[in-house]
């Protein structure tokens, strides 16, 4: 990934950081990104209004993309849709449909998705194929149903140690 002049950035601006830190991310880091991956609450924070429909997701992704001059993967869920994500890039959009997997161990799914996209880009896959493969990876890791400790634990990343996700384009 370090060979690319731009990179994939997971967004965590609505919790755990000060307003000054969030402003610095928006002003200094986001314009350097190839892809931003906000979930619905994070996208709402970036555009300053609620997102309540698929059409509003498209509008939000477009607005974020135009503001930061990068692609945007607006992650679904959050009671808006099942697990459908929207990729907006170069003035066009594509939906990546998914199914919600009933697994309480979802800690790190957003960061894992961003990392998987970046890894696939580094392997030479197109942006759309990178997102597609990353979503498939997340679904597999969740479906493996790893259950460690108490609370929302991690997904099972070991499900894919030796399979199609290790291959290059």
Would you name the residues annotated as active-site residues?
75, 106, 108-111
* 35 Rama class: left (phi>0) / alpha (psi -120 to 50) / beta: beta
Q: Which residues contact 30 (CB under 8 A, 6 or more apart)?
A: 9, 36, 68, 70
Give the whole-angstrom CA distance, residue 18 versus residue 88: 28
Specify the residue for token string 């060979």: 3
Residue with structure tokens 């170069």?
Answer: 90
């Amino acid at each position: 990934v370090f060979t690319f002049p731009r990179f994939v950035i997971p967004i965590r601006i609505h919790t755990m950081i000060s307003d000054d830190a969030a402003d610095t991310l928006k002003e200094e880091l986001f314009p350097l990104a190839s892809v931003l991956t906000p979930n619905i609450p994070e996208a709402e924070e970036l555009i300053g209004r609620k997102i309540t429909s698929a059409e509003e997701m498209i509008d939000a992704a477009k607005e974020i993309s135009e503001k930061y001059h990068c692609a945007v993967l607006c992650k679904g869920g959050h009671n808006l849709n099942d697990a459908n994500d929207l990729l907006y890039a170069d003035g066009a959009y594509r939906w990546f449909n998914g199914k919600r997997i009933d697994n309480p161990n979802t800690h790190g799914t957003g960061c894992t998705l961003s990392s998987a996209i970046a890894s696939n880009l580094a392997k030479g896959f197109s942006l759309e194929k990178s997102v597609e493969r990353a979503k498939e990876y997340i679904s597999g890791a969740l479906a493996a149903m790893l259950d460690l400790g108490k609370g929302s634990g991690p997904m099972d990343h070991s499900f894919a140690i030796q399979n199609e996700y290790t291959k290059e384009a």
